[in-house]
Amino acid sequence: MFSLTTLAAVALAYLLLLFAIAYWGDRLPAARIRPFKPLMLALAGTYTSAWMFFGTPAQAVEEGWLLPPTFVGATLILVFGAPLLARFVRLSKQQGSTSIADFISAQYGGSQWLAAAVALLALVAILPYLALQLRAVADSFLFLADDPRLNASLVTGLVSVTLGAFALLFGTRHIDSSVHRNGMLLAVAFEALVKIGALVAVAWFVLGSAFDGTAGLVREVLASERVSRIASERPADTGFLAVVVLGMAAMFCLPRQFHLLMIESDSERDIGPVRKLIPLYLGILSAAILVVGYAGLVWLPGAETNPERFVLGIPRESGSGALALFAFVGGLSAGSSMVIIATIALSTMIANTLVVPFWLQHMQVRPGRVRPGQARPGAQGALGSDLRRVRRGIIAVIMLAAFAFNEVMDTGVRLGTFGLLSLALVAQLAPAMLAAVCWPGHWARLRAGGAMSGLAVGAVIWSLSALPAALGGTDLVAGALGLNWSPLSIAAVFGLGLNVLALVLVSKLLDQWRPLRIGEAEAPVDRNRLRELLARFVGDAAAERTFNSIDAGTGAGAGSGDSYRGKVEKILAGIVGSTSARRLVRQPLGGEVGAQTLEQASAIYQFGRGLLQSSIDNIDQGISVVDANLNLVAWNRRYVELFDYPAEMIYVGQPVAELVRYNASRGECGPGAVEMHVQKRVEHLRAGTAYRVQRHRTDGAVLEIRGNPLPGGGFVTTYTDVSDYQRAVAELTEVRDSLEQKVTARTAELQQLNSELHAASAGKTRFLAAASHDLVQPLNAGRLFLDALSARQLDEDSRRLLGRADSALAAAEQLITDMLQIARMDAGDIHPKFQRVSLDRILDDAVARARLGAEARGIRLRYRPTRAWVMTDEKMLRRVVQNLLDNAVKYTRTGGVLLGVRRRGKGVSLEVWDTGSGIEPARQQDIFREFCRLGGVEREHGYGLGLATVERLCRLLDSPISLSSVPGRGSVFRVRLPAASPAPATRSRPAIARTAGYELDLSVLCVDNEPAILEAMQALLGGWGCRLECALGREEALATPCPDLLLMDFHLDDDRDGMELARELMQRWGAEVPCVIISAENTDTVKASALACGWQFLQKPLRPAALRALLQAHQREMTAAGDPPATKVV
């Protein structure tokens, strides 16, 4: 399906990605990692190795396990045994354990032999586990490459070398075993997501594509003869309960699991989230495993007999290369994570328990003459480099041994057999671990010899039962006892049972044969020996100061033996621990043994302290560390520089009270008695609570002091000089205050300007109202005079001149209307009223109006009807369409104009196409400005306000307008409108026929403050047959009788309101008279007020046709109501 080169490139790229993630994670601050640490531990702790990824689907169908028993065991120990795991974490942190061998040894008196035995047993147990990872990854290469020419051993060897190289990169980057490898943990957590995702993806494909859901898969499985045959061939004892027990033990006995949960965790608090998350992940995996296992059994061809290949076989059979590659990467993740963590744990364990102690005993390092906190020049670097090389060599040997074990094992052995074989042996560590933390204190004490005996017995049972069965031989234990049990059940029942029995019995025998007696064989007090012992760890000068302080404290020139021994033991306890310190101080050490022990202890201390000192000396902060007895045990150069301590005052074992007293005597602790500051500081340290304070020193500097308690007692404190930061904060505060004052002043100025702008806007509004009235009044009078004149008998030349005058007057009226409209839109006085509108009605009316102009110019005007409805303001959209059509007709000399509508997604595009002269790209934005006209166009074409009005109306309607134009070919304007559903159909009223010669017989009162308008109205309405009474103001109007119709100008003299005058007249007449309000104000305010009163409204300049139609309609209403017009002449 893929070439081996492709698979190798993908694998290498993925492993490099993991290394990049680890490299990035190591550089992240621990504070950023901490909130996600439980999640990372849970992902990494699912122990989904290659066995779990490839082998558990096979075990599900072959053994009939609906749930993987290892998952069941892990869930049980997490749910019910969480307090036990938390205790393991707590003890490992208190003792500084770096491996499971170190942890077990510490519980049994620090026995080096027990630690070595645990390390050897773990190595033997993990080798099959590592071998199965190599086989699984190599088999995935061979399976997907499907090339018979490939040599399986060669591929496995290349996989071993590659994974071993990455294990070296991951495992030896940090030489200090207690350092948390956050980068490695982040990479392994990422791997867990990949492998879980890959397995779930294959299961999802099975249910979604290969079968008709879960029900379809269940039906196929129940009907499968292959499934029935496998079920009938299963033995009575499949070892399910035994594997559950092994799964419980694996959560804390596997070196990989111990390293992740006990070493990499920050504290026992991490167990809480982990115990909830891991069962969730295991539950998801269990469902996917069951689906993949049985789907592969019934869906894959019968030729595929190895169920451990189902995870890769299903994607390959489906032809999905992406899914197959994802499953391949998931298997690689499962194998590589197991190899990396397991080899790190094993190399650390073997180095610390077998290699390093032997190596240090033969080193000739003499650190006794080195100053406190320093190593001999070059010694620490050599130690670190040598230890790193040792661990790399151990990793290489482990990988070579795993490869050899894989080659020895028969190719037909299942991955599950490898995995369970490892678990069966590593579970023998469980009795020693559980007994160490759960054994009652008042019972006989368990001994290291008993633990070693239990491990030996359990390993023998394993080698006689599980090991030969896995290699294809006979279970010797089951055969000897005549039991038809699974080898795993034999290893669990007899191996663990005899292990516990040997542990208890041998411990009891040793307690009787060589009982432990506290205080026995204590070495006599030798002042010179104690001084030499202390000098090996802290140097001659510090040892001399310590003994001088003891002598000075007794006041007799020499202290007692107990005071010397107690003081030295207290100092060494802060360096090598209380157990080692007691052994060094109180037990007699003879000749060569004593020298070797001291040499080993001092070398280890100098090595560790050199690592610590070289790290903290390069930190800008001052650091001090005190032990549980409040004695100074570590510091850096910056700490000494900050407080300017005398050289003789700083040494290991210096009581922190003396340092506080020294600082308080110099005023560094603030006002108050010196002893008060000492007592306060000491009590705070003893309370063990974290704190953070800022101290202002006498020289003006500012120190930020942070203190945090250490596990098991002690305190670490950091001192940071934040003087520059505080000065910057003060300057920023001053700048902020200054800015706030400026902002306040500027805000006041802006408020003043805003008030002035509001006043100016109000003035502009008043000006527009006045301008609209004053400009339109003469136009209105002129229009009325012209219309009255047109009704008379005129010769042809006079009528032609009359038409020219009417056109000029109409142009001036349109210009003023457009200017006022634009000003109102800019001022925000016009607001659209959105409703559902039929586009066809608007477009049909606009085409009808523009058709005469198009025919006059000899161009075609085409329109495609539409059934589209839009959400818009009908009046504004009419104006937009009319202006665009007029503009297209005016600027098109040949060809035609097309008006149409297109659907665009959820909207509608209204488009006007023309074949005019086109517009240059540089001028396309200019045409939407006021008074912008293209060159070469006749003056009769307008004043350049049409498109400016269109642009503003489209902005109000939130309907973007766009232009596409090609010079010499034409232009197209597009307006994007929101689509709407059609409104319910309404029945239209039939139109009433009107005749131009219809005579009017009405009495009309016209009130206006312009005599010219009254004169024009008299001429016009008198020509129509109306009896007109004119009034210039309130006094004249009140003197007139009640008319049939009232024509009332809105703006009268002396700021009078025509509507108020109309109400006053009707009150005087005692009747509601039909009223028409006439106004030149180009706003909707007056119109809305008139309509609210039930009156009609006409806009100046008056259009005679509209006025005549209104009068005719009123006369017909009076006739229909039986109220004939008045015959009295007024």
pLDDT in tens, 903-929: 888 899 999 999 988 888 877 777 887
Please, is 885 exposed, middle or buried when counting C-beta atoms within 10 Å of its C-beta (0-12, 13-18, 19+)? buried
Residue that is written with structure tokens 């019968």 in the block? 302
SS3 359: helix
Q: Are the C-beta atoms of residues 437 and 88 closer than 8 Å to each other?
A: yes
Q: Does residue 862 have a pLDDT over 50? A: yes
This prediction's pTM: 0.51
d(CA 785, CA 770): 23
Confidence (pLDDT) at 869? 92
What residues does 978 pair with on adjacent strands?
A: 907
The domain covering 831-980 belongs, at the CATH homologous superfamily level, to: Histidine kinase-like ATPase, C-terminal domain (3.30.565.10)
Q: Does residue 514 have a pLDDT over 80? A: no
For CATH 1.20.1740, list the domain ranges present in the chain: 4-361+378-411
Confidence (pLDDT) at 59? 80
- Residue 518 Cα distances to 294, 305, 468, 522, 525, angstroms: 63, 65, 46, 9, 17
Q: Does residue 675 have a pLDDT over 50? A: yes
Q: Are the C-beta atoms of residues 962 and 908 closer than 8 Å to each other?
A: no
Using the 8-state DSSP alphabet, how is residue 523 labeled? P
Residue that is written with structure tokens 């982990």 in the block? 274
Q: Convert the pLDDT of each residue in 869-887 to its tens digit.
A: 999 988 888 888 888 888 8
Q: Does residue 956 have a pLDDT over 80? A: yes
pLDDT-based confidence at residue 302 (cuts at 50, 70, 90): low
Residues 6+ apart with CB under 8 A from 227: 61, 221, 294, 297, 298
The token pair at 812 is 């001036």
d(CA 716, CA 431): 37
* Omega cis (within 30) before 1101: yes
For CATH 3.30.450.20, list the domain ranges present in the chain: 620-721
826-832, Cβ contacts within 8 angstroms, sequence gap of 24 or more: 826/952, 827/761, 827/764, 827/765, 827/768, 829/765, 829/1083, 830/956, 830/1084, 831/956, 832/872, 832/873, 832/876, 832/956, 832/957
Q: Does residue 291 have a pLDDT over 70? A: yes
What residues does 835 pair with on adjacent strands?
A: 872
Torsion sign over Cα 769, 774, 779, 784: positive
- Residue 972 Cα distances to 895, 938, 942, 947, 969, angstroms: 14, 21, 20, 13, 10
Mean pLDDT of 201-210: 88
Q: Does residue 442 have a pLDDT over 70? A: no
Q: Are the C-beta atoms of residues 890 and 859 closer than 8 Å to each other?
A: no
Percentage of residues in the chain having pLDDT higher than 90: 5
Report the CATH number of the 1003-1120 domain.
3.40.50.2300
Q: Convert the pLDDT of each residue in 590-639 to its tens digit.
A: 444 444 555 555 555 555 555 556 666 667 788 888 887 788 878 888 88
Report the CATH number of the 620-721 domain.
3.30.450.20
Residues 6+ apart with CB under 8 A from 466: 420, 421, 424, 425, 475, 487, 488, 490, 491
Q: Convert the pLDDT of each residue in 657-667 to its tens digit.
A: 888 888 888 88
The closest alpha carbon to 240, from 427, 77, 62, belongs to: 62
The token pair at 322 is 């992406």
For CATH 3.30.565.10, list the domain ranges present in the chain: 831-980
| Helix spans in 791-927 (H) | 796-827, 839-857, 874-890
Q: Convert the pLDDT of each residue in 981-994 to its tens digit.
A: 887 765 444 444 44
Confidence (pLDDT) at 615? 60
The token pair at 928 is 């939407």
Task: Give the residue, 545 or 863, on which the prediction is more confident.
Answer: 863
The token pair at 895 is 């060809």
Q: Convert the pLDDT of each residue in 1-11 to its tens digit.
A: 678 888 888 88
Mean pLDDT of 531-560: 66
CA dihedral defined by 53, 55, 57, 62, rounded to 10 degrees?
A: -170
The closest alpha carbon to 406, from 159, 589, 107, belongs to: 159
Least confident of 120-129, 535-544, 578-587, 952-961: 578-587
Confidence (pLDDT) at 271? 86
For CATH 3.40.50.2300, list the domain ranges present in the chain: 1003-1120
Task: Give the residue, 238 or 1034, on which the prediction is more confident.
Answer: 1034
Residues 6+ apart with CB under 8 A from 539: 368, 369, 370, 371, 372, 651
Task: Give the residue, 1115 or 416, on which the prediction is more confident.
Answer: 1115
Report the CATH number of the 4-361+378-411 domain.
1.20.1740
Q: What is the mean pLDDT of the chain?
A: 78
